[in-house]
Amino acid sequence: MISKSRWKLLAMLALVLVVMVWYSISREDRYIEFFYFPIPEKKEPCFQGEAERKASMIFGNHTRDHPIFLQLKDYFWVKTPSTYELPYGTKGSEDLLLRVLAITSYSIPESIQSLKCRRCVVVGNGHRLRNSSLGDAINKYDVVIRLNNAPVAGYEGDVGSKTTMRLFYPESAHFDPKVENNPDTLLVLVAFKAMDFHWIETILSDKKRVQKGFWKHPPLIWDVNPKQVRILNPFFMEIAANKLLSLPMHQLRRVKQKPTTGLLAITMALHLCDLVHIAGFGYPNAFDKKQTIHYYEQITLKSMAGSGHNVSQEALAIKRMLEMGALKNLTYF
- Summarize pLDDT for 9-47 with one digit per residue, the tens: 666 766 656 555 454 444 333 333 344 455 555 678 898
Q: Give the number of other Cβ atoms within 10 Å of residue 127's Cβ.
A: 20
192 pLDDT exceeds 90? Answer: yes
| Backbone φ and ψ of 279, nearest 5° | -150, 140
227 pLDDT exceeds 80? Answer: yes
Q: Percentage helix, strand, coil, to 5, in the chain? A: 40, 10, 50
Please indicate whether residue 14 or residue 59 has the higher confidence score (pLDDT): 59
Nearest Cα neighbor of 113 from 57, 80, 67 is: 67
Task: Give the tens place of pLDDT for each residue, 242-275.
Answer: 999 998 877 655 547 899 999 999 999 999 999 9
Spatial distance between the Cα atoms of 140 and 231, rounded to a whole number of angstroms: 26
Q: Where are the domains of the chain?
A: 37-329
How much is the pLDDT for 36?
A: 47
Q: What is the pTM of this model?
A: 0.86
Beta bridge partners of 122: 145, 278
Asked if residues 244 and 265 have their Cβ atoms less than 8 Å apart, the reply is: no
Spatial distance between the Cα atoms of 74 and 90, rounded to a whole number of angstroms: 12
How much is the pLDDT for 66?
A: 85
Its sign, for the CA torsion 259, 265, 266, 268, is positive
Asked if residues 186 and 230 have their Cβ atoms less than 8 Å apart, the reply is: yes
Task: Give the tens place of pLDDT for each residue, 140-161.
Answer: 999 999 999 999 999 999 999 9
Give the DSSP letter string of 166-218: EEE-GGG--S-HHHHS-TT-EEEE--SSHHHHHHHHHHHHT-----TT-SSPP
Its sign, for the CA torsion 178, 184, 189, 190, is negative
Its sign, for the CA torsion 102, 237, 172, 130, is negative
Spatial distance between the Cα atoms of 223 and 238, rounded to a whole number of angstroms: 30
Nearest Cα neighbor of 332 from 278, 266, 273, 288 is: 278
C-alpha distances in Å from residue 292, one per residue of 128, 268, 296: 10, 27, 9
Which of the 8 DSSP states describes residue 164?
S
Spatial distance between the Cα atoms of 287 and 115, rounded to a whole number of angstroms: 44
* 3-class SS of residue 120: strand
How confident is the prediction for the chain on average, in pLDDT? 86
Beta bridge partners of 317: none
Using a 10 angstrom Cβ sphere, with 0-12 exposed, 13-18 middle and 19 or more buried, the burial of residue 161 is middle
According to the CATH classification, is domain 37-329 in 3.90.1480.20?
A: yes
